[in-house]
Structure 1
C-alpha cells in the first residue's frame, strides 16, 4: 500500500485514519450546516469548531456534486475560489486544505494559493487534472466518475466503478474515492450496500482510500431514518466499518463524533504495517475470493494461480534482494504473488501450500543462502499464522 503525504501528514496503512471536514462555499449545497459562504464566518468555523473537534483536512467545495443540483461552469467556481483562498490565507491553525473541484484550471489556481490537496469529483474527466497535480507534486483524490465533467459519480455497479478508476491512470500521489451515494436514479440503495460490503476490494489498487458516506440515505434507510438530520448514528456505524475495511480518510460533516469513532476503530482494528527500511509483513484476515481476484488482476506483477481457502500476507518495504528472494520462493511453491513496484507485495496460498513452502525453506538446501536472510521476516510471520491455524489444511 502506497503512503501519500498531504503536506507533512502521511496517509495510508499504519497511519491514523484522517478526518476530512466539509466546508462549502456554495449556497446550493444540500446540507445547510456545512455552508459558510462568507470569509469571516468560514474562518471562525474552521478555527473555533472544525480544528478543535479534530479535523485533519478541510475540504472546501465550490459547487455541489449532488445530482439534484444544476452543473455550474468553471467561471462560477473561479469566482467562489477567491473566497476560498482568503479562508486559507486567514486561518491560523495546523490543518491541511483540500479544494473540491472538477476543473484543472481551478485546481492549479488553488494549489498556487496554498491548497494542499485536490479533490477531483469527476475522476480526471478534465484530462489536464493529473498533469497539473503532477507538475505541482500535489496529491489528488480521484473519485470514480464517468468521463463527463457534468456527471460526477454517475455510475452504477462496482465493476463500472473499478473501470472508471482505472480509466486515465493515476499520479504517484493519487487517493481513490469509490463514490458512494445516490448519484442518479439507476444507482439503488442495494447497489451502495453491495459496494459497501465489498469495500476491501478497492485496496487492490494499492492506494489510500477516501470514503464519503456521512448522512447518506442508503444508510438511513437501513435504520428507518429517511431524514438527513437523523442520520448521524448510522453514519458513525458506517465510519467504523470503513476504517476496519481499509479506508484512510473519512469525509464528514460531523467532525467531532466521527473523529472519536475512527480513533477507536483504528486502535482496536486489524494491524496494518508501516513501510520503513526493513521488510514488514502483516497477515490480512477475512480476505474474500473477489478481493484476491481484484488484486491479482490489477497488478501486472502477479504470478501463481488464484487459490481457495487461503492465507494472505502484505509485505511492505521491499528492497531488490527481498523482492527477488520472494519471487523465487513463491514461484518454486506455486504461491500467488502480486507485487506493486515501490509499494508492497501480496502473498497468497493455502495453509497446505504455505506449510510445505515454509518447511522447504527451513530445510537445508531448501532456500539459497543469499535468499535466506531477506526471507526471514516473511517466513517468521507466515510460520506464526500457520501455528495459529493448527494442523488442519
Structure 2
C-alpha cells in the first residue's frame, strides 16, 4: 500500500487513526509483526469498525478488545512503513553535519554582525585557505575564530606589551592556548591578513602587534645619554655611562616596563630610530642618540619610545622606503612625534618593486587612505624604493 493509499483511507475515516497506531508501531520496531494483533478497545463508531475491517478482514471482539489476525501479506513490514510515516512515527533523518565551509561562513556572518566595521578583514578570511583548513581540522573552530578575532581587535587598542600567555588566559581561559598548535597558527594567519602581509615571519609579526613571545629575551637596544628612575625612586645611570664609553645599552622588557621616567644628562631633543643593525652601528660610531627598532618595533622598543616622548623627545626615523619601512615608521610615530629621514635625490638609485611588492603596496594604498605616510608610499609606488643601507653614507653624522 502506497503513502497515497494510506492517506486516502485516513481522509475517509480519520477517527480510526488510534487503532492503526499499534500496527504502525510494530512496523518500526525491531521485533517481527505478530500473527495476532490487539488493536485496542472495540470502537463504538460503526464507521470506524467498518474501515478497520477493510484493512483487517475477520477482526473480532475478545473481552471488549478488537483483535486482528494478520496473514503473511499483512505481516510484511513494508506495508506499514508508509503508514508509520503518515502518522509521524518514523524518526526524522539526522540532519547532515554542516560542511567546514558552511561552518566558516556561519561564523563569518556572526562576526560581521558583531563587528560590521571589519568587512575587509572578513572578506579576506572568507577567501582564506588556511581559515578553511582550520574549520576542517578543529571542532571548536567557530568559537576559536571569534575569540581570536576579539584578541586581534584588543591588540589594536591595547598598550604594547602583552604575552601570548596573557592573551590565551584572557580570551580562552587557558594560558597555553596560543603558545602553539592550530590556534597559534590561525592567530598568526589572522594577524598577517590584518597586516596585509602573508609572508611576514612570526617574530616580526608579533612585534608589530606588541605581543611578547618571551619576556626574558625581548629587549630594546639604545644609545643615548640618559638615566632612568625605578619604581622605588632610585636613579640608574648605567645607560649614560655606556654612552660615555661609546657603547649601546640593552634593556630587557622587564626593565623597560618598570621605568618611571627618563632623565637626559646631555642635550638630546631628537633620537634617531633605525630599522636595521648596520646603520644603527654607524650612528653609535658617530655618537648620535639612536634606538634600534630591529625591524618592526617590539613592546620593549615601543615602551622606551613612549618614555622618550614623556621626556620631551621627538624621533627622526631612518629606514627602508618600502611598505614595511613606512609601516615601521608609522608604529614609531604612534609613540612620539616623528619625522622621516629623506635620502637626497642625488643618492643611490632606487630598487624596482617586484610584481608582488607593487601589488601589495597598491592594495595597501587603496585600503588605507588615512595612513600618515601615504605621499611617501605613492612616491615609492611610482619610483621604486631604497634600502636603508643605501643611504648610510649620506646620513648626517651630527644633528642639524
Do Structure 1 and Structure 2 share a fold, with TM-score over 0.5? no
Question: TM-score normalised by the shorter chain: which range applies?
Answer: under 0.3
| Structure with greater Cα Rg | 2
TM-score scaled by length of structure 2:
0.26
In proportion to residue count, which structure has more helix? 2
Q: Give the TM-score normalised by structure 1.
A: 0.26
Q: Which of 1 and 2 has higher RCO (CA within 8 Å, sep 6+)?
A: 1
- Larger strand fraction of residues: 1
